[in-house]
A and B are shown apart, each in its own frame.
Chain A
Amino acid sequence: MSVLWILLLPMMGILLPVLFGKSGRTPTAWLTAIMPAAALGMLLQMAPMVFSGQVPMFTLPWVPLLGLNISLHLDGLAFLFCLLILGIGLLVILYARYYLSDTDNMGLFYGYLLFFMSSMLGVVLSSNLLQLWLFWELTSISSFLLISFWWHKTEARKGARMALTVTGAGGLALLGALMLIAHVTGTYELREVLAMGDVVRASEYYPYILALFLLGAFTKSAQFPFQFWLPHAMAAPTPVSAYLHSATMVKAGVFLMARFYPVLAGTEYWFVVVSLTGMATMLLGAYIALFKHDLKGLLAYSTVSHLGLITLLLGLGTELAAVAAVFHIINHAVFKASLFMAAGIIDHESGTRDMRKLNGLWNYMPWTATLAMVAAASMAGVPLLNGFLSKEMLFTETLHQYTLGALSWWIPLLATAAGAFAVAYSLRFMHDVFFNGEPIDLPRTPHEPPRYMRVPVEILVVLCLLVGIFPQFMVGDMLSIASQAVLQKAEPGYSLAVWHGFNFPLLMSALAVGGGLALYLNRRHLFSFQDQFVDHDAKYVFESLVQQMINRVSTLHSWIDNGSLQRAMFLMILLALMVSAVPLFNLVDAIGTHPQLPINWVVGFCAALMIAATFVTLWWSHRRLVALIALSVVGLIVSIAFTYFSAPDLALTQLSVEVVTILLFLLALFFLPQKSPTIDSPLSIIVRDFSVAALFGSVIGTICYAMLTRPLDSISDFFMENSKPGGGGTNVVNVILVDFRGFDTLGEITVLGIAALGIYKVLAQMLVFMPSADSKGYRWSKETHPFLLAVVSQSLLPLALLVSAFIFLRGHNMPGGGFIAGLITAIALIQQYVAHGVVWMKGRMPINYLGLIASGLLISTLSGLGSWAFGRNFLTTWFDHFHLPLIGEFELASAMVFDFGVYLTVIGATLLILANLGKLTTSERLRDGGH
């Protein structure tokens, strides 16, 4: 349980500073420190347990399907890292209290800091692969937030984004690696995975796993070639640099390698890739560090170099090397954190970090200078300091390498060279800053920092000394348990003594120191040599690379998607053609067994006529009126076809719809440009389009033919049988519409209604082009509403209404029904508009079409709901026969109410559309002022 608390306390702690951040700097700092301190207390209280070799654990299932559980364990390695994270974290909190100014949002800063702390704790405590990855990503995110804390500075923004992109990419790779590992081992629980190293190394996936895994680790720990993001992360406030980018977060990568050491290490791949990368990083970092004029820049590259050193150690693959790696993780964290803080103090008190200006600070801040120089000495690897010990171990290990065969001696040589550069830049840090003449025009006159700002540095430096002098006493036990955790077995024999007698490693150290001195003394030549190369700023290189990539992709994209509907349409038809044609190739014979009807000349003539009309429409599609007339011919023949093939309802519907549609087209023609610039697409396009169209047409035709000539066993007999007894109507089609499939009809009239609403919206606030003359320049006729028409149509109206009523009532038993009736009524009314004009109509027929639509829908729905009263399902119909004197036998059916709703909706919708389109030219046109 208490393992969970180590993680939970800092997490809960996030809220404190965020909520009470306004309560002044010192209180905020204290508030922030409470939870980590408590967590640290817990950790120490569990120390005996861990040292006695037990591993406290906590597990809670979370997402079984994914294999993601909340699963924590506190083994030696985790313990070591928790100690670093919490310990240094507390020091950083104290330090930041003095570093940040009043203008900074301190609460937020501390919140981010604790966010990071908990994420990092999560990484080291996790014993579930996916949970580990989860916290891993959280560290990237929190570091992004911290680097961009001063987001108004462009280098902060760019640095943060670069860090996030690089580590984020690595995170994705890591996810892949971990899932593959889990796939191979069949478990997501780290402790089980650690026991199955052989399985993983043996599996076919191993190379991929290793590649992805190392991508994750290297990006996080800024290993070559990904080292470039780390120096730019220095745009963050110095406490962040000290904490994340030297002591803890960048260690996550090496932590991961140490964590999976038993699983992945020990192969040829591992040795070559890891050790060589480490070596390269170590050298590169050390070399560049020497030439950085920025204090933090120097430290950043030195960090890169030291991370390389640790990677190298892990790569060497011997057990002692692993121990040395763990040891150096501790040491580096301690001295580098103190150095960053010192640098921060100098920056804070003198106003610059440029070593060309900073000189002779010894006279201004002797105490800080002493601290900084001790730490720097440790970084250089001077005896009696902790840095020396782990470096000695490195040298020792490099001497026991035979993997490069006869060239194995390269490794110690290069290691020594890197050591020399380390000495050189450490010397530069000490000498340039604290001696070497007087400061050059500093923004402020430097002085010692506030007492407590120095305390963290003091503590860390004292640690450097103590570990350096009494290593076994200070860290012996911790090192041993940590190494055991890494190796998953008893650690090899080694002695943490300061003095091993005169031996080869000592000689190498001596050489390194000597070489370093020499390098530093001749730095002038080196600098002038280095100046020949233009110094690329990774920020800009990276940004411009991303930018170029985006530009390339954008051109590619505009090539794929040129915003043309024609292309989209063409591709869709093409796809439809392909997918539907392929099966037909396997269709042995289109003709089926179903008996065919004989053809007669009437049908033949109609068909010919229709085809002709179709081609007329096609050919004169730009001569709009012609096209329209041809189109209506096609429509008429279609409705004739329906009549011929015994579908009277369809014929009636088709006919009435045809009329309304053509009316609509005619109205629309008035507003479309008389002459439209007929840009005839190039012949090639026309051929292309036509051939695709023809192919698709033939496919559909073939399918139609194949379908027609095959027998069908369908569900429709049921409708024939139940229409009268169950639906109370003899016109089966109508009964299907209002009863068997009434729900479809309800949807259909809803569509009609919504369409009317949509058209209303489209017409509203639309400015119209109103030609005063036709294409030939003849002015439109003055006589808008011919008298004859007015008279005739007026006399026609009652007749039309009567017809529609008749059609409506017979609908249930004979062809007809609400929809057709509605259209007929609508047409009759439209005729009135045409004959008398909008204003006249407005006076006499104040119908609110919108209301008509809504009430129609409502009536249909409610008629369906009525059945609920009798405990029946929605749309269950009821009908009965009554006998009245005079009128005689007649039927009442709830379906008729439903059909009445349809009737109203159709009238409303049709008129709303047509009338409003017609009104466009008049003063009655719609205005869309919202409401």
Chain B
Amino acid sequence: MLQHLPVLPLLIPLLAGTLLLMPPLANTLERQRRAGTLFALLQLAAAVALLLQVHQHGSLMYAMGEWRPPFGIVLVADRLSTMMCVLTAFLLLCVQLYSSANEDQKGKFLHPLLMFQALGIQGAFLTGDIFNLFVFFEVLLIASYALLIHGGGAQKTLANVHYVILNLAGSALFLFALGIMYGTFGTLNMADMQQRAAQIDANDVQLAKAGAMLLLVVFGLKSAMMPLHFWLPRAYAAAPAPVAALFAIMTKVGIYSLWRVHGTIFGDSAGDLANIAQPWLWPLAWLTLVVGIIATLASKTLRELVANLVIVSIGSLLLMVALNTREATAGALYYLVHSTLATALMFLLAGLVVQQRGKAEDRFVQSRPVAQPALLGGLFFLGALALIGMPPISGFIGKALMLKAALTSHQILWIWPPILVGSLAALIMLSRAGGTLFWRTRGENTDPARAHPAQLVAVVLLMLSLPLMVVLAGTITEFTQLAAEEMRMEVKSGA
């Protein structure tokens, strides 16, 4: 079994999704819930096992159909990819639990779709073949299209129309880029590509560049880089709470791919093609932060606010990608995990607020109090601290790490002000939001709708993960350092 460990994080969700569509599991919602949770647990276990394996014995490579690279498709499990898998699996578990409360009654196929979503995300993390990356992008996209519409409603439909059309155009660009890649390098395996990039023929350089830059646009769209970010606030604000929470990892897929392609294939080692994305990445990342801050201050509902804060965090991450030093990547990785968890937590909380606040939903207007003010208020408070980046929750470590990484570069004046101002904006808006949602209330909450235990378990799991990240910050940063090291050095065949 150990031999097949790297493929498990993909096989489990694939089989899970399929089985959840067939009798006997498909018959009752109860079965779907139980089985779904079980599968999610299995997957988490597999991911963690893989992580430990990789951490102790180095990267693993799994050749599909035993066709040796660069000819066949390989999965590459190194520290970075497995860490992302663990994050995804944990998120999936929480989301799965949360949906088991009542979300899955609002439409069909929620549980299988969640599994397929996870399949796409983890595939994108694990694959070492660039066309296979495209395929998994499509898997996670189509799953997200289907999830976004879950529950129905004009708002969702409209957001979905924008999201789908933009991403279809993005996929087209992806294929153009892949065509150029194969047309110039004659290979699809990323490691092979990295080697060929180093000694590319002089009159192919410009073509390869064009391809690589198109990929920048594609991954930029995924990660909501300005000016490709317009889909995000609407989609995330419209999505059902658990779906939005799972989406928290999707923007990170874009960041991850940027690291893999522009940080590694076209990284320092790529000769004429070294760091070609940098000149574009700097200003775009910076603008992303600024636009994110503006949007944050303009938010009208809690979900909108959190979504816009996602853009801010993406801006910070993109800056770190542009910086592309070992320290920057290590810090960014820590921050990436933190912000994913914090965002997911806030989306789930927003879901509970909407559920308990009646007509006003999560709009920043005076309304009746929520049914469980102490509980939700307390969780919101902690979540807010996390998003702002205030101690004692993990946000401050991530922010500080990124600021520190910037210190050594000349770009400090680019990086520091927006990140610090971003925190301030978050502070202002979240304190206002909390004050309005939980304190400035009118009348009594008459309906007895309390949060479902399953929902609470999910939220609390996410909540606890954050302080844990603070306590274990030493270990985690050590790990991310190694991961960053590996990513920058490694020829991605892992072997």
Instruction: Give A contacts to B, CB under 8 Å.
Output: 61-68, 130, 134-135, 137-138, 141, 148, 151-152, 154, 157, 161, 164-165, 168-169, 171-173, 175-176, 179-180, 183, 546, 549-550, 553-554, 556-558, 560-561, 563, 565, 567-569, 571-573, 575-576, 579-580, 582-584, 586-589, 592, 699-700, 703, 706-707, 710, 712-716, 718-719, 722, 726, 739-744, 746-748, 750-751, 754-755, 757-758, 760-762, 764-765, 850-851, 853-855, 857-858, 861, 865, 868, 871-877, 928, 930-931
Kindly list chain B residues whose C-beta atoms are within 8 Å of the C-beta of A853: 21
In the complex, the 4 A-B pairs of residues with the closest C-beta atoms, listed nearest first: A758-B146, A714-B186, A579-B213, A557-B298
Q: Which residues of the other chain, A, contact B142 by a CB distance below 8 angstroms?
A: 751, 754-755, 758
A566 → chain B closest CB, angstroms: 10
Contacts of A563 in B (CB 8 A): 234
A-B contact pairs, 12 of them (CB 8 A): A179-B400, A179-B404, A567-B230, A579-B217, A707-B184, A710-B184, A739-B65, A851-B21, A857-B17, A873-B64, A874-B4, A876-B66
8 Å CB contact of B294 from A134, A553, A700: A553
Q: Decide yes or no whether B123 CB sits under 8 A from chain A.
A: yes
**Nearest B residue to A164, CB-CB:** B431
Q: How far is the CA of A556 from the CA of B427 in the complex (A)?
A: 20
Bound CA–CA A740/B63 (angstroms) = 10
**A714 — nearest CB in chain B belongs to which residue?**
B186
- Is A66 a contact of B477 with CB atoms below 8 Å? yes
Query: Bound state CA distance, A303 and B90, in angstroms?
Result: 51
Provided the pairs A151-B439, A743-B65 are in contact, do residues A930 and B106 lie with their beta carbons within 8 angstroms?
A: yes
Closest-CB distance, B121 to chain A (whole angstroms): 13
Residues of A within 8 A of B478 (CB): 64-65
- CB contacts under 8 Å to A, within B467-489, are 473-474, 477-478, 481
Stretch of B340-348, B385-393, B449-457 at the chain-chain interface: B385-393
B206–A584 contact, CB under 8 A?
Answer: yes
Q: Is the CB of B165 within 8 A of A66?
A: no
Q: Give Cα A492–Cα B478 distance, bound, in whole angstroms.
A: 47
Nearest Cβ on chain A to B197's Cβ, whole angstroms: 14
**CB-based contact A750/B139 at 8 Å:** yes
With a cutoff of 8 Å between Cβ atoms, the chain A residues found around residue B63 in the complex are 873
Q: A565-B166, A747-B136, A930-B107 are in contact. Are A580 and B73 (CB under 8 A)?
A: no
Contact of A138 among B112, B146, B210, B392 (CB under 8 A): B392
* Chain B residue contacts of A874, Cβ below 8 A: 4, 7, 11, 62, 64-65
Question: Is B322 part of the contact surface with A, judged by Cβ < 8 Å?
Answer: no
Kindly state whether residue B176 has any CB partner on chain A within 8 Å: yes
Q: A141-B390, A557-B298, A875-B64 are in contact. Are A575 and B146 (CB under 8 A)?
A: no
Question: Across the interface, do A712 and B186 meet the contact criterion of CB distance under 8 Å?
Answer: yes
Question: What string of 1s and 0s marks CB contacts (under 8 Å) between B185-199 and chain A?
Answer: 011110010000000
Complex Cα gap A221–B133 (Å): 55
Beyond A550-B297, A715-B187, 6 extra complex contacts between A and B, CB < 8 Å: A152-B439, A161-B431, A168-B388, A565-B165, A747-B132, A874-B62
Contacts of B234 in A (CB 8 A): 563
> How close is A762's CB to chain B, nearest CB, in angstroms?
6
B119 touches A850 (CB 8 A): no
* A580–B132 CB distance below 8 A: no
Query: Which B residues lie within 8 Å of A565 (CB)?
Result: 161-162, 165-166
When distances are taken between beta carbons in the complex, the residues of chain B under 8 Å from A154 are: 440
Asked if B4 and A868 sit within 8 Å, CB to CB, the answer is yes
CB < 8 Å: which of A151, A171, A553, A857 contacts B18?
A857
B213 touches A865 (CB 8 A): no
Min C-beta distance of B261 to chain A, whole Å: 14
Q: What distance in Å separates the Cβ of A151 from its nearest Cβ neighbour in chain B?
A: 5
Decide if A575 touches B228 in the complex (CB within 8 Å): yes
B231's nearest neighbour on chain A, judged by CB, is A568
Q: Does B150 contact A (CB under 8 A)?
A: yes
- In the complex, the answer to whether B428 meets A165 with C-beta atoms within 8 Å is yes
Using known A-B contacts A569-B165, A715-B187, determine if residue A751 contacts B330 with beta carbons closer than 8 Å. no
In the bound complex, CA of A487 to CA of B88 (Å): 53
* Residue among B15, B166, B392, B400 making CB contact with A861, cutoff 8 Å: B15
A583's partner among B14, B19, B207 (CB-CB below 8 A) is B207
Cβ-defined partner of A747 (8 Å) among B67, B138, B146: B138
Among the listed A571, A592, A850, A873, which residue makes an inter-chain contact with B62, where contact means beta carbons less than 8 Å apart? A873
B330 touching A65, Cβ below 8 Å: yes
* B65/A740 in contact, CB under 8 A: yes
Contact of B64 among A141, A743, A761 (CB under 8 A): A743
